[in-house]
Structures are given as structure tokens and as C-alpha cells.
């Protein structure tokens, strides 16, 4: 059997720190005999520094050739003043679009051991297991026209276009219903249908898709209400399907139900389940270089890679179990530690997870 080829893009600020821990997981699995190989590439600010572009041709080629991609995080203050077209974030959007990674799975799973790290009461979040499915290659992120102009009376003006086509909505809808079939058979489609034309179309198309899935219950919710319901009674949700911008915001919100944004992994998949895997958080410039970043979201993203791209749910489960084990053992990075608890650094947390994995 030929090796699975993984392209690793550490990115910026805490990106390389958290990725180093994910690589330890890959090293362990390879030492056990898994047929894996990996190479490193540049994306984001690191790519701009090395090659003058946030998604350079070398990365494009390597990304197309890889079986799966692991990404740390990109962006940060060093790059904030660059022209829009070469900002790190543009590199990230570029690779998502280029590879057609339209389906972004962001599971929000509350570990019982961390119930007290959440800012909500234990009973509100205990047992929480929701899947936020975010459409990733459309919406106001990519709609045209966008830009700047000067109005007739001399004011600067910025504009973006929210845009969705029916096929784009339909394909993410199908992913949502398929996922719900394997879960609790409920899809909540989140939109702003009371205001936006894109959302009116979104809702119509979702209702159409639902006809093919009579065993799955479809409900609709406005995004403002969804933001409120997520903190009021998050366990009412099973699968949430939503557009690019709403999904970006709701998933960061959902991370705090679980205790920290440092915990949530993601998979971004194309039509063939080729994927890029990354934590949902950013490059955390405020803690970069201090060994404080929580590597769990990145390590869980490795698990998602095995499950979705390599059809190895068994390894994903082992990784999930190893993370649960270290949390059960009371190991905590600063973002999930209670006052007075011993705090582990990034590397110590990574080592603890690898050690637990070795024994699983
Ligand atoms: P962020 O997610 O980087 O950080 C928000 C807060 O969460 C910070 O206080 C940070 O310290 C904390 N945090 C994030 N990850 C953590 C981890 N693993 N462990 C412990 N704490 C963690 O969001 P931001 O500050 O709004 O953005 C910083 C930069 O990251 C920006 O340039 C932004 O564009 C970029 N960004 C990139 C991605 C990505 O690469 N996918 C995602 C979001 C933001
Ligand atoms: C994310 C990030 C990105 C997004 C940014 C950095 C472009 O916030 O991956 O959630 O908005 O998609
Ligand atoms: Mn985001």
C-alpha cells in the first residue's frame, strides 16, 4: 500500500507551535507502522515572507498532490498592513477556494472533564455534541463585486457582496442531511431570511433538499436567535448548517461552550472528501512564542483527517480517547485550567497526549 501523503502548513505565530505537537502524533503512528509520509509547505504570512505570496505556486502544487493537508493558523499583526491581496488570510481563502473545500465541519463536543472550564453552567453543556456545518467557499467572503470607491460627494465607500447560488446551497445541504442521518437526525438551518435575499434562496433550497431525507427533521432559525439559543440551551441542536460568515461566528461562540477555542478541530472537505484539517482558532499572536497555546484542537484535527480522508475512524477514536484521558488525568493548558490548577505548556500537553495514545 502506498503511503498517505500529508502536506503540513504550520502558518504563523502559534501555528508552528501547535503543529509541532500534531507532528509528534503522526510520528508515533508512523512508528507503529501506519503508511504515512509528510512534507512541509508555506501558507499565510510565512509564505509571504519566504516566497512573496500567501498561497504561492509551490504550495498550490503540493496541495493538489497531497492526500490531505494539515494547517496550523495564519495571520497576525506583522502582516495586518499588507495590501489585501497578499494578506495571510487571503492565502487561506485562496487554498479553500482553489481546492473546492466547500464543506467545513466544526464539531463542538463538550468533554465532561472540562464542564467547569465553560463559562456556562455544567448542566447546560454536559454531554453537548453538536456539529456546525459551515459552507466555506461562497457567501460574502467571495461574492463580487467588492472593493472601495469614492462616492459622488467625495466619501470613501467599501462594499462586499453576499452571494449564494442554488447549487452551492444544495451541496452543503446534502452534506448536512447525510451527517444528521449518522447522528440524531435533526438539521437546523441558520439564515437571515427575514432580511437577506441570499437567505431566502438558502431556505427554499434547504426545504427542497429535505424532501430527499424524510427521516431527518429540518428546522430553520434566524442567525441572531441562533447566537442566543447557543448559549441559552445549546443541547437543542444536532447539526447546524449555515453560510460562510454566520458559521464563522457561531463556531467561535460554540467553542466557549466546550471551554476554550483551543479545543475545536475542523475538517474542510471537497466533493471527494479530500480535505484540509485545522483548528478553528487563529494564530493567537497574544500568546505566541510563550509555549502557552493549547495543541488539542490541532491534534483532534489530525484525528478528523484520519476519519474523513483516510477512512480510519479507528485512529480518530484513539486520538479522541487519548485527549479525553489526559483531561481525565487533570492535565490542563492555561486556557482550560481552573484557578490554582497546575498549568502545562504546549509541549508538555502534546507529550502527554502522545503518551496516552501510545497506551491506547
Ligand atoms: P484567535 O483565534 O487567534 O485568538 C482569539 C483568542 O483565543 C486569543 O486570546 C488567543 O490567545 C486565544 N486562543 C486561540 N487559540 C488558542 C489556543 N490554541 N490555545 C489557547 N488560547 C488560544 O483570533 P484573533 O485574535 O481574532 O486573530 C488572530 C489572527 O489569526 C488574525 O490575524 C486572524 O486573521 C487570524 N485567524 C486565522 C485563522 C486561521 O488560520 N484559520 C482563524 C482565525 C483567525
Ligand atoms: C477561520 C478564520 C478565517 C475565516 C479567516 C482567518 C480568513 O476566521 O478559519 O475561522 O474567516 O474563515
Ligand atoms: Mn474564524
115 pLDDT band, cuts 50/70/90, is: confident
CB 131 within 8 A of CB 107: yes
Give the pLDDT confidence score for residue 116 in this predicted structure: 82
CA dist., res. 324 & res. 153, Å (int): 60
The answer on pLDDT for 167 being more than 90 is yes
Residue with cell 431556505: 203
The answer on pLDDT for 1 being more than 80 is no
Segment 95-118 shows an average pLDDT of: 94
pLDDT, mean over the chain: 97
CB 281 within 8 A of CB 121: no
Phi and psi angles of residue 50, each rounded to the nearest 5 degrees, phi first: -85, -35
ipTM for this prediction: 0.99
Name the residue of 45, 141, 282, 284 whose CB sits within 8 Å of the most ligand 2 atoms, as the mutation to test its pocket.
282
Give the pLDDT confidence score for residue 109 in this predicted structure: 95
Give the pLDDT confidence score for residue 153 in this predicted structure: 95
pLDDT digits (tens, 9 = 90+) for 134-146: 999 999 999 999 9
CA dist., res. 93 & res. 140, Å (int): 12
Would you list which residues are annotated within the binding site for substrate? 96, 106, 134, 224
Give the pLDDT confidence score for residue 280 in this predicted structure: 97
**Which residues, judged by CB distance below 6 Å to any ligand atom, belong to the binding site of ligand 1?**
18, 73-76, 89, 92, 261-262, 278, 281-287, 293-294, 297, 335
**CB count in 10 Å sphere of residue 28:** 16
Please indicate whether residue 92, judged by its CB atom, sits closer than 6 Å to ligand 2. yes
Helices (H), 182-337: 197-210, 223-232, 244-258, 296-308, 313-328
CA of 248 to the centre of ligand 2 (A): 7
Grid cell, residue 48, equals 509571504
Total count of residues recorded for the chain: 360
Q: Which one of the ligands is nearest to 261 CA?
A: 1
The answer on pLDDT for 117 being more than 90 is no
Segment 247-260 shows an average pLDDT of: 95
Domain architecture of the chain: domains with CATH: 1-107+268-360 (3.40.718.10), 119-258 (3.40.718.10)
Please indicate whether residue 89, judged by its CB atom, sits closer than 6 Å to ligand 2. yes
Give the pLDDT confidence score for residue 92 in this predicted structure: 98
Give the pLDDT confidence score for residue 206 in this predicted structure: 98
Antiparallel, parallel or unpaired: β 103-109 and 265-269 = antiparallel
Name the residue of 79, 263, 264, 283 whose CB sits within 8 Å of the most ligand 1 atoms, as the mutation to test its pocket.
283
Residues 6+ apart with CB under 8 A from 9: 40, 41, 42, 43, 44, 59, 69, 70, 71, 72
Q: Which one of the ligands is nearest to 93 CA?
A: 2
Query: What percent of the chain has pLDDT above 70?
Result: 100
Closest residue by CA, ligand 2 atom 3: 89
Name the residue of 11, 45, 93, 160 whose CB sits within 8 Å of the most ligand 2 atoms, as the mutation to test its pocket.
93
Closest residue by CA, ligand 2 atom 4: 248
Segment 38-54 shows an average pLDDT of: 98
Would you list which residues are annotated within the binding site for Mg(2+)? 224, 248, 252
CA of 273 to the centre of ligand 1 (A): 26
pLDDT digits (tens, 9 = 90+) for 273-322: 899 999 999 999 999 999 999 999 999 999 999 999 999 999 999 999 99
Please indicate whether residue 248, judged by its CB atom, sits closer than 6 Å to ligand 2. yes
Instruction: Using alpha carbons, list the distances in angstroms from residue 214 to 14, 180, 187.
Output: 45, 12, 12
The residues carrying an active-site annotation are: 141, 192, 224, 248, 252
Amino acid at each position: 500500500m502506498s503511503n498517505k501523503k500529508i502536506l503540513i502548513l504550520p502558518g504563523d505565530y502559534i501555528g508552528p507551535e501547535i503543529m509541532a505537537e500534531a507532528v509528534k502524533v503522526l510520528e508515533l503512528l508512523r512508528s507503529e507502522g501506519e503508511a504515512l509520509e509528510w512534507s512541509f509547505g508555506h501558507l499565510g504570512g510565512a509564505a509571504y515572507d519566504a516566497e512573496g505570496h500567501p498561497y504561492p505556486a509551490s504550495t498550490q502544487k503540493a496541495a493538489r498532490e497531497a492526500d490531505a493537508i494539515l494547517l496550523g493558523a495564519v495571520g497576525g499583526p506583522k502582516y495586518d498592513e499588507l495590501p489585501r491581496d497578499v494578506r495571510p488570510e487571503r492565502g487561506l481563502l485562496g487554498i479553500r477556494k482553489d481546492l473546492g473545500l466547500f464543506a467545513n465541519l466544526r464539531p463542538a463536543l463538550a468533554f465532561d472533564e472540562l464542564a467547569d472550564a465553560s463559562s456556562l453552567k455544567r448542566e447546560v453543556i454536559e454531554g453537548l455534541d453538536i456539529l456546525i456545518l459551515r459552507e466555506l467557499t461562497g457567501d460574502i467572503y467571495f461574492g463580487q463585486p467588492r472593493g472601495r470607491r469614492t462616492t459622488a460627494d467625495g466619501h470613501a465607500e467599501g462594499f462586499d457582496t453576499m452571494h449564494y447560488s442554488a447549487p452551492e446551497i444544495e451541496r452543503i445541504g446534502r452534506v448536512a442531511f447525510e451527517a444528521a442521518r449518522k447522528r440524531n437526525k435533526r438539521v437546523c438551518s441558520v439564515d437571515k431570511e427575514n432580511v437577506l435575499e441570499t437567505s431566502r434562496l438558502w431556505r427554499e433550497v434547504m426545504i427542497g433538499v429535505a424532501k430527499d431525507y424524510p427521516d431527518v427533521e429540518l428546522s430553520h432559525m434566524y442567525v441572531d436567535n441562533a447566537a442566543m439559543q447557543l448559549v441559552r440551551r445549546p443541547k437543542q441542536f444536532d447539526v447546524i448548517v449555515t453560510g460562510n460568515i454566520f458559521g464563522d461566528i457561531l463556531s467561535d461562540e460554540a467553542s466557549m461552550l466546550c471551554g476554550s477555542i483551543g479545543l475545536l478541530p475542523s475538517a474542510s472537505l471537497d466533493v471527494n472528501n479530500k480535505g484540509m484539517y485545522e483548528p478553528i482558532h487563529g494564530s493567537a499572536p497574544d500568546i505566541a512564542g510563550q509555549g502557552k497555546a493549547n495543541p488539542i484542537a490541532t491534534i483532534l484535527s489530525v484525528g478528523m483527517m484520519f476519519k474523513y480522508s483516510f477512512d480510519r475512524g479507528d485512529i480518530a477514536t484513539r486520538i479522541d480517547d487519548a485527549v479525553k484521558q489526559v483531561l481525565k488525568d487533570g492535565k490542563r493548558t492555561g486556557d482550560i485550567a481552573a484557578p490554582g490548577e497546575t498549568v502545562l505548556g504546549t509541549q508538555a500537553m502534546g507529550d502527554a497526549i502522545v503518551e496516552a495514545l501510545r497506551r491506547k
